[in-house]
């Protein structure tokens, strides 16, 4: 049940060398750092970064925090529509 408390946030995953946004998500707690719910290509990208010596702080950015779930989802949708990150688009294309 949604408590309505402002505990959610919106985050991006970026290419560390170019700062290009490749994924936008929203969630709470450890969502930005968890990889179990990501698509295959997104997970491969994360594994490649780790092999190259990057750490999560190199590719994860919290964009806004202390949001209600509705605020977080609204911002996430707005940002995805505007930036069209490759891993969000792949998820949309597959239905």
Q: What is the pLDDT of residues 2-19, one digit of tens each?
A: 556 679 999 999 999 999
Q: Is 88 left (phi over 0), alpha (psi -120 to 50) or beta?
A: alpha
- Give the number of domains in the chain: 1
pLDDT digits (tens, 9 = 90+) for 35-47: 777 889 999 999 9
- Residue 63, in any domain of the structure: yes
CATH code for the domain in which residue 84 is found: 3.40.1440.10
Q: Give a yes or no: residue 46 inside a domain.
A: yes
Give the range of the structural domain holding residue 87, as residue numbers without chain letter. 8-93
Residue 34 confidence class, pLDDT cut points 50, 70, 90 = confident
pLDDT score of 95 more than 50:
no
Residue 1 within a domain: no
Partners of residue 25 on adjacent β-strands: 11
Residue 85 lies in a domain: yes
Domain-located, residue 3: no
pLDDT given for residue 5 in this prediction: 66
7 vs 21, higher pLDDT: 21
């Amino acid at each position: 049940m949604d408590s309505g408390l402002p505990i959610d946030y919106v985050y991006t995953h970026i290419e560390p060398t170019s700062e290009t946004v490749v994924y936008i998500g929203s969630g709470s707690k450890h969502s930005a750092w968890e990889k179990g719910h990501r698509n295959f290509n997104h997970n491969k990208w994360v594994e490649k970064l780790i092999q190259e010596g990057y750490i999560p702080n190199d590719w994860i950015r919290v964009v806004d925090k202390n949001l209600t779930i509705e605020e977080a989802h609204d911002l996430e949708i707005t940002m995805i529509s505007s930036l069209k990150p490759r891993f969000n688009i792949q998820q949309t294309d597959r239905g």
